[in-house]
Structures are given as C-alpha cells and as structure tokens.
Amino acid sequence: DTGVSQDPRHKITKRGQNVTFRCDPISEHNRLYWYRQTLGQGPEFLTYFQNEAQLEKSRLLSDRFSAERPKGSFSTLEIQRTEQGDSAMYLCASSPSSGLADEQYFGPGTRLTVT
Amino acid sequence: EDQVTQSPEALRLQEGESSSLNCSYTVSGLRGLFWYRQDPGKGPEFLFTLYSAGEEKEKERLKATLTKKESFLHITAPKPEDSATYLCAVHRGNNRKLIWGLGTSLAVNP
C-alpha cells in the first residue's frame, strides 16, 4: 500500500508533556499538510509544506506547535507543553504538484488524548 | 467571507432510498470542489474533484454535480456500508488551504 501513513495511531499523554507525530506521504507527492480535527468539525488547517519548505502556517497555531519536513519526504509535528484542549485527531495529507486543484490524500490520523 | 455550508447535518435513509446531500459555497476564484467520505476514527477518503459548473462525476452509487453556487452528492439506492460522514471542501485562488464544510452524517438502515 502506497498511501499516506501516520505514526502513532493513538497517543495518550499527560498535560505538560511534549509529543511528536510522524507522517509519511505518498512517495511522489511533494506537498504535505497537517490538520487537526475535533468531533463534529471539518479538518482545521495547521500548516503546509512544499518539499522541505514550510510555506504556510495557521494563525491559530500557537508557538507550542512546530512542524518540520527536513528532506522533503516525511514530516513531524511536535506539540510542546500539551494542554487538554490539544486533544484531537491530527491528520496528515499529501498532494501532487500537478493538477488544476489540490487533491489531498489523507492518512489514518493520530488520535491524541491529553489527560 | 469565504464559506462552505453543508446540509443536512444528519440524514437517515432506508436501504435503497435515494437522496442528495448539498454543499453550498461562497468563495472567490474557485479552483476545485472536493468530496470526501470519512468513517469514524479514520482520515477522510477522497471521492471526487469538480472543477467547473456543469461538471458531473460518478463512482458506484455516488454522483457529484457542481453549479456556480453549490454541489450535490447524489446517492442512488444506498447500502448500509455507505453510512459515513461526507465532507465537502473548496480550493480557491492560489491559496493551498482548503475551506471545509462541517459534513453530513449519513446513516443507512438495512
């Protein structure tokens, strides 16, 4: 299977701890996105990479959130000093550079629970 | 303000009972409209991209259509396995950030 993969699938952490999630996009896709989704809501945009460059970051993203894509392949999303409000599903998506519009293919997500 | 609104919020159908889901949008410079299916606890699964008014796309029991103001996802003779949340998103201009609706939760009873 050559779809988007995410690791871990579930993470339970205590408030104040740091967590890091990994995303492996579809291999030929050079665009990578991170989203956050809570129950009953659509995905909320966090950040976007084209190759290794982080081109856009949501204003809603606090300084506790950081993302990297060092070699233009996999990406990591780190949340420092987690808060209960960070509990959500964190989704990664990738898309090819060609095409009229940005068809994004999503991974299975990482479910974060902050206790 | 750019906005995507989906209706109804929830829909319950009997197996075989055809219906339509609506996605209305107000965005400038539409580049594409996307439909996704999402099962509980999983990431959205890509279904269709529509680029211009009048365009239609089909996949099994699903058919998506687009006008200048809205898109419809028609479900013909649904089966219980079609139960999911259906999300609509639009891509406008040169901004890579998609604008998402809240989704329609569909339940198909056997």
Q: Is-contact A8 A77, C-beta < 8 A? A: no
- Per-residue pLDDT averaged across B67-84, rounded? 96
- Flag whether pLDDT at A1 surpasses 60: no
| Rounded Cα–Cα distance for residues A45 and A51 (Å) | 18
Instruction: Give the pLDDT confidence score for residue A103 in this predicted structure.
Output: 86
Query: How far is Cα B92 from Cα B28, in angstroms, rounded to an integer?
Result: 7
Average pLDDT over residues B105-109: 97
Average pLDDT, chain A: 92
The average pLDDT across A83-108 equals: 88
Interval A3-32: pLDDT, tens: 999 999 999 999 999 999 999 999 989 999
pLDDT at B94 > cutoff 80: no
Each residue's pLDDT tens digit, A100-113: 667 899 999 999 99
What integer pLDDT is reported at residue A100 of this predicted model? 63
Output DSSP code: residue A51. T
C-alpha pair distances (Å), A77 with each of A2, A46, A50, A92, A105? 21, 10, 15, 10, 18
**Contacting B residues, span 64-83, partner chain A, CB-CB under 8 Å:** none
pLDDT of residue B1: 79
pLDDT at A99: 61
**Which residues in chain B are closer than 8 Å to A48, comparing Cβ atoms?**
96-97
- Cα distances from B38 to residues A66, B45, B79, B86, in angstroms, run 26, 6, 16, 6
Cis omega (within 30 of 0) for bond into B8: yes
Residue B98 has pLDDT above 90, yes or no: no
Best of A103, A110, A111, A112 to disrupt the B interface (most B CBs within 10 Å) is A103
In angstroms, the CA B92 to CA B4 distance is: 12
The residue with tokens 């964190």 is: A90
Name the residue with higher pLDDT: B105 or A1. B105
A/B interface, count of CB pairs below 8 Å: 64
CB contact under 8 A, B46 and A103: yes
Share of chain A above pLDDT 70, in %: 96
Contacts of A109 in chain B (CB under 8 A): 41-43
The residues, ordered by sequence, that sit 6+ positions from B103 with a Cβ below 8 Å of its Cβ are A40, A42, B6, B9, B38, B85, B86, B87, B88
The H or E element that residue B48 is part of is strand B45-50
